[in-house]
Structure 1
C-alpha cells in the first residue's frame, strides 16, 4: 500500500476517527463517506504516531492515506488509525444537514444503519466498500445505489480479503476503536459475538463436505480469530451431537479440538 511522504502534526481535537464518523452519519454511512472521499471533499488520513506536549496536549502525526491502494486485510489492521479532519466534516455537514439524521424506519438488525451494537459486524463490511468504491480505480462514476446494495451482498470481488463468507466477517473492538476510546478495551458482549453466524459458517462448511470437527475448529479459528473460548468451541462442536454436557466438558472438548490436550 502506498503512503504519501507528507506528514503533518495536528491536535487530537482537530480530527474525527473513522468509527466516530460512521456513528455521526448513522444511516448508510458507507454511501456518504465513500461518496465524499470519491468526490475529493473528504480526505483520508492515517495516524503514524501520537505525541504529548509539555502542557499535556495530545497531537497526532498524520499522513494522507490513498484508499485506492488499500486492501481489505490491511484496512482491518489500520481501521482504528484512520481519521478525517473535523473542519472538512463540518463543512460537508453544513451543506448536507441530513447526514447526521438516523432513519426511524430502518432496523438496526441489518447493515443500512450503524450503532455501537452492530459496529463489530458493520466495520469489516464498511472497510470492504471503502477499498472498493471510495476512488476511481474500479469505477469511473460513483453509484450510490450500487454501494447501498453491496453492503448486504455476499459477493466478494476484491483480492486479499478476510477469509470466509462476508456474512461471517467480524472486527474486534480493539481493531475498530483507538486506544483513547473506552470501547477499545471493552470486552465483547455476547450479542456482539453473534455466535449464530459461527453456527451458520459451520453449517456451510459441512454442506461443502467438511465434517471433521478438528478441521472445522481450525476453520472457525481462522475466520473468527480470538472470538470463541474453549467452552464455546466445545459447545459448537460437541463430541456427541444432541447431548447436554457440563461447562467443564465443553472446555475439555474445545481444548481437544484445538490440539491443546
Structure 2
C-alpha cells in the first residue's frame, strides 16, 4: 500500500508515491503548469496500481492562487474517485521538512515566492524523533526581509525537495490517521486551500446564465478546452455529442451577459445503455 502526495503551491509541481511502512518513495518534479499534476501521477501510478493507494496528501498552501486551486481540486476529485481519505499539509512544510529533520532543534523556514515583491514564509522545528512542529503561522514578507529571518531558509530549488514532500506527506498521513473519531479527518470536503491573501488579479464579476449548448459554440468551447486540459477533446468529438437528442444527452452552456453572451463554460452528459 502507498500514500500519494503532491503539491502545486510553488513554481514546481511535486508528486511522490510513498510507502508508509518504510518511508521509501518514488517521485517526479515538473516546472510546468499545475494542470500537469495528473500527468505526473499517471507516470508514477499505472492504471492497475490505483488500488494500492490508501490515502492522498495534498499541499494546501500558501502559494500561487491558481496552482493551489487546481491542486486541491484535483486531490479532492482523485480521493472521491478512489474512495480513499484525503489529508492536507502546509506547502511551506513540504519545502522545509527534509532540512528540519536533518537539523534537529534548529529553526527552518519554508519560503515560496508570493509575487508582488513578497514571499510566503513559515518556521518549523524538528525534534530528535523526527516530528516537526509549526512555530508560527504563515505570513507574507517583503523579499528584502528574507535575509533577516532567524534560522535556515529553504525554497523549492533545493536538492531534497522530493524527500521533503515524502516526509511532510507521511507526517500529515500519520496525524490524520491518529485523529480522534468524529473529527472527519480524511474527508475530502474538509481539505481547503489556504491562500493567506487574495489573488494577484481580481477578475471582473460575471453575470452568468445557463442555456443550451449550440453548434455555433464549438469554436469557443475548443478554446476553453485547450486552456483547461493537457489532452482536450476535439471539436469533432463535441459535435458528435451535440447530435444526441434531448432524451440521450444534456448539453448546457454558461454565458456571461456582461461580455455579449460569451461562452465561459459548458457541461455535457450522455445516457449510456437503456437505464
Q: Same fold (TM over 0.5)?
A: no
TM norm structure 2: 0.25
Greater share of strand: 2
- State which structure, 1 or 2, has the greater radius of gyration over its C-alpha atoms: 2
Greater share of helix: 1
